[in-house]
């Protein structure tokens, strides 16, 4: 029976995010140690990190010490694959992994990757990895990304797993602030997969649990990191997913600190008060409110603007570079 553990976004960084304790990276290393132990306890065939291993696309923002510590984390695993996220590359170029990016060091330290933007893992594993796609929102790009998947034997695809890094939401929870990759209907991931199989996705930090859409079972139990003051980060559990060919997805909760030991709760309240004050002001001038609690909130707002996509992309990159 094939078993695979998948964990969500790590966002490793030298300096903790605003309002997060100084133990931010210590907590990440501890969680990764737990995942490495689970690999052995459950006798899994592979572990997959689902993208955004590092927080900053600019390699100068990740110190030598940080890369060395992450290298040590990688070497605790027996069979680790990494799906490449949008924060792991520069200017949406997968080639940057081998040119400038710290994630390239982790691959040289023993982590495995698929060749190109998508493909099957080695060793006959029923594991197909789709890295971050430069143009996820183009249905043709989605179709091409799963071409090798569709070429596999149809009887095996029903019991095979895709791990990807993509803006996905359950059909009944679709967030209008994001330009999402659909899971149902024409041009969707489900259609590109031939309406069969399993998908685990990173990129979205919330816990979506597991759901079915057009014949495909999707999963996302949230990021390992808790770096923003979003409400869900205050309340959610920190988990990984365990997948096997017979029963599909289950979740495993990791030992983790309560929110009051992760966040500076006084700062959390100050941010809430700032947001309420801003909402009051915007209401008075007839504008819609904007969540100012994190860079990702501003990025989400940019996605709603009626401007060309290249402009949105540049603005988003600049924001993350100076974060």
Band the pLDDT of 305: cuts 50, 70, 90. confident
The whole-number pLDDT of residue 172 equals: 84
Higher-scoring residue by pLDDT: 49, 172: 49
Distance CA 50, CA 120 (A): 15
The whole-number pLDDT of residue 235 equals: 84
What mean pLDDT is predicted for residues 216-238? 89
In the chain, what percentage of residues exceed pLDDT 90? 66
Mean model confidence pLDDT for the chain? 88
Q: Residues 159-168: pLDDT tens digits?
A: 999 999 999 9
What mean pLDDT is predicted for residues 153-157? 82
pTM of the model: 0.85
Q: Residues 274-296: pLDDT tens digits?
A: 655 655 655 555 555 444 445 66
Asked if 109 and 139 touch (Cβ cutoff 8 Å), the reply is no
What mean pLDDT is predicted for residues 229-239? 84
Structure tokens at 221: 């139990």
Higher-scoring residue by pLDDT: 26, 297: 26
């Amino acid at each position: 029976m094939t078993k695979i553990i998948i964990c969500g976004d790590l966002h490793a960084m030298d300096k903790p995010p605003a309002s997060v304790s100084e133990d931010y990276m210590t907590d990440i290393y501890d969680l990764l140690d737990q995942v490495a132990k689970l690999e052995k306890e459950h006798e899994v065939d592979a572990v997959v990190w689902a993208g955004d291993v590092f927080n900053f696309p600019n390699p100068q923002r990740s110190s030598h010490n940080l890369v060395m510590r992450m290298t040590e984390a990688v070497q605790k695993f027996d069979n680790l694959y990494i799906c490449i996220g949008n924060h792991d590359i520069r200017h949406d170029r997968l080639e940057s992994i081998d040119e400038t990016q710290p994630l390239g060091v982790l691959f040289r330290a023993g982590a495995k990757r698929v060749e190109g933007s998508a493909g099957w893992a080695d060793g006959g594993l029923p594991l197909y990895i789709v890295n971050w796609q430069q143009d996820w929102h183009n249905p043709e790009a989605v179709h091409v990304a799963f071409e090798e998947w569709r070429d596999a034997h149809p009887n095996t695809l029903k019991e095979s797993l895709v791990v990807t890094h993509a803006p996905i939401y359950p059909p009944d929870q679709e967030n209008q602030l994001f330009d999402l990759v659909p899971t149902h209907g024409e041009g969707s991931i489900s259609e590109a997969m031939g309406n069969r199989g399993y998908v685990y996705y990173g990129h979205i930090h919330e816990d979506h649990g597991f759901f079915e859409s057009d014949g495909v079972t999707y999963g996302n139990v949230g990021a390992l990191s808790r770096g923003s003051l979003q409400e869900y980060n205050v309340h959610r559990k920190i988990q990984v997913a365990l997948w096997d060919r017979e029963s599909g997805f289950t979740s495993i909760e990791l030992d983790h600190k309560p929110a009051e030991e992760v966040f500076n709760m006084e700062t959390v309240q100050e941010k809430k008060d700032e947001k309420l004050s801003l909402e009051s002001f915007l209401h008075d001038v007839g504008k819609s409110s904007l969540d100012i609690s994190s860079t990702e909130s501003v990025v989400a707002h940019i996605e709603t603007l009626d401007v060309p996509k290249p402009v949105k992309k540049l603005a988003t990159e600049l924001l993350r570079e100076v974060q």
